[in-house]
Amino acid sequence: MQPLSSVVRMQNLSDLGSHHFDVLVIGGGVTGAGVALDAVARGYKVALVEKADFASGTSSKSTKLVHGGIRYLPSFDFALVQEGLVERGILLRNAPFLVHQVGFVLPIYRGDRHPVGLPFTTPGGVGIGLLLDAGLWTYDVMAGTQNGYHHRRLSRAQVMKLAPALKTEGLREGFMYYDGQTNDARLTITLLRTAAQHGATITNYTEVSSFLMDSGKVRAAYVRDTLNGQQILIHARHIVNATGVFAEQVETLTGIEAQVQIEPSKGVHLVLPREKLKLGDEVIVLPETEDKRILFIAPWQARAILGTTDTGAGDLDHPIADQQDIAYLLQYLNRYLAVQLTEDDIISVYAGYRPLLKSRSAHKSTAQLSRTHAVLQHPSGLVSIVGGKLTTYRRMAQDTVDVLSRRDEAAVTHPTQLMPLQGSAGWVVAKKALQERGSILGLSERSIEHLGRSYGTEANKLLDFIEKDASLGELLIADLPYVWAEVVYACRYEMAMTPYDVLARRTSIVLEDWQRGLGIVDEVAAMMAVEQQWSPAQQQAMVQAYRHAVQGELIMEAGYQERDENRSV
């Protein structure tokens, strides 16, 4: 097992400056993590740097679905859909503990005219069921044998049994189809740990400040450790820009006019009480919005996620859910629910930016822009991977490293197609033993399930901690499944450097807790101080930084200032 502690991070920083690398990946989101893993799996000597924490941007702000995208069928974007379905199948095989197939309930109402983004309507909505049936049949065929289950038509009564919170008025029938769900941040961390296990040198909080140029070509990158200010020069034969919405900014560091053209698209999600939505294990599809989108209500631990929007961007470093975003989501949620929800029901709000490729058409909205990706080779020698989506990260990485292999006139191989991610090998057999061991140690069923779904076979390491210290098996938050052993594990094995890293990305407590982790941050920081050898002043500074970050998010999110006082947050 490859540890990724603060000590390892410092050693990695030293190695970055003293070794020459074949590939330097800039960006520690899911795409950069995928590139690092693909490159190291092909035998390259790989380094990866991330300016903040791993998965701190878009890669922890998605709807957390792994899917082909049924909404792209009406626009006949079959290549994108099939690519997503193929990649979904690969992920289900390579990370079975982390990616799960789930049912999606798609209700059809009498008033719907453009469900799932249909570009046309029929008189009185007659025949829409047949059109959707044909579309979902196409979806099944494109998925092939990797699908596992085929869609089926649901009666009105079956829809209500599966999704009792939906309103009955106007409900005609529905469909059940199948796609995937994952924890996006943990997928990213798992990819990075797998890459490190294969020899990649990775560091977070390491920002590229400039490039060393020679005859117009990129030869090395100057980086700064944002935690202590240390400057390092990293030499690499290939430098890959996998920074998502920041790709243009990174390219301009070469001093050459940027080729990358990104159209950031803001996606906002609401986290809601699962019980209020009477949500089972299925995802509910809200089939139609005025702008011909669809929304998902997805189960997430003890909560539910509603999303998403698709609008223009503001400050790229600080995506904000404004009042209009929240109102939009509540409007369409309440359009289909029997019980109306208000802002008081919102546990948290989060926003992120999709790095979409800019269209040549000035009239396209971000919702109309394709989710395809592109690998760009710049005159400076820099390689940028742009566009795409969470589901297709592996294919994006593969296409990127293919470019490097061809540059080197090396054999083009695709090892990640059949590479289990860390925690996956032997999971099917290990799962039962993990459940039995967790039960003996006194963990609840939901905590055992959570540990398995988050860490796979690596969960046994957390049980080792609990076996030595039973207090580490206690819950961090009473109604959530997270245990204190995860704080220790995050510090020792996942390069968590701050309480926010632990509470927002190694776990999802910031999203799921009504108090956003503020009630436990002092204890979390105290435990981290032992692991990281912080002084009392450093520990207090970490607590204050966390409180400042969370309070800042609450203030920025429209409508939360008044609610803070009522919640004693």
C-alpha to C-alpha distance for 70 and 518, rounded to whole angstroms:
38
- DSSP track, 22-63: EEEEE--SHHHHHHHHHHHHTT--EEEE-SSSTT-SGGGSS-
Six-digit token string for 160: 């209500």
Surface-to-core class of residue 40, CB atoms within 10 Å of its CB (0-12 exposed, 13-18 middle, 19+ buried): buried
Residues 376 and 450 in one domain: no
For 360, phi then psi, to 5°, come to -75, -20
Q: What are the contacts of 73-79 at 24+ separation with CB within 8 A?
A: 73/116, 73/135, 73/138, 73/139, 74/116, 74/117, 74/118, 74/119, 74/135, 75/117, 75/119, 77/370, 78/138, 78/142, 79/372
Residues 167 and 241 in one domain: no
**Of 379, 399, 418, which residue sits at a domain end?**
418
**Strand partners for 213:** 218
What is the SS3 assignment for 531?
A: helix
350 and 267, same domain (yes or no): yes
pTM of the model: 0.95
Closest CA to 487 of 442, 456, 532: 532
What total number of domains does the chain contain? 3
Q: Are residues 435 and 554 in the same domain?
A: yes
- 536 in a structural domain: yes
Residue 278: which domain range?
95-181+263-357
132 and 230 co-located in one domain: no
- Is 290 domain-assigned? yes
CATH code where residue 392 lies: 3.50.50.60
Cβ neighbours for 56, distance < 8 A, ≥ 6 positions apart: 28, 50, 504, 505
Task: For the chain, 569 residues long, give each residue's pLDDT as a single digit of tens.
Answer: 678 999 999 999 999 999 999 999 999 999 999 999 999 999 999 999 999 999 999 999 999 999 998 988 888 889 999 999 999 999 999 999 999 999 999 999 997 888 888 877 766 666 888 889 999 999 999 988 766 789 999 999 999 999 999 999 999 999 999 999 999 999 999 999 999 999 999 999 999 999 999 999 999 999 999 999 999 999 999 999 999 999 999 999 999 888 888 889 999 999 999 999 999 999 999 999 888 889 999 999 889 999 989 888 788 888 889 899 999 999 999 999 999 999 999 999 999 999 988 754 444 444 444 568 999 999 999 999 999 999 999 999 999 999 999 999 999 999 999 999 999 999 999 999 999 999 999 999 999 999 999 999 999 999 999 999 999 999 999 999 999 999 999 999 999 999 999 999 999 999 999 999 999 999 999 999 999 999 999 999 999 999 999 987 776 664 444 444 444 33
Same domain, 562 and 441: yes
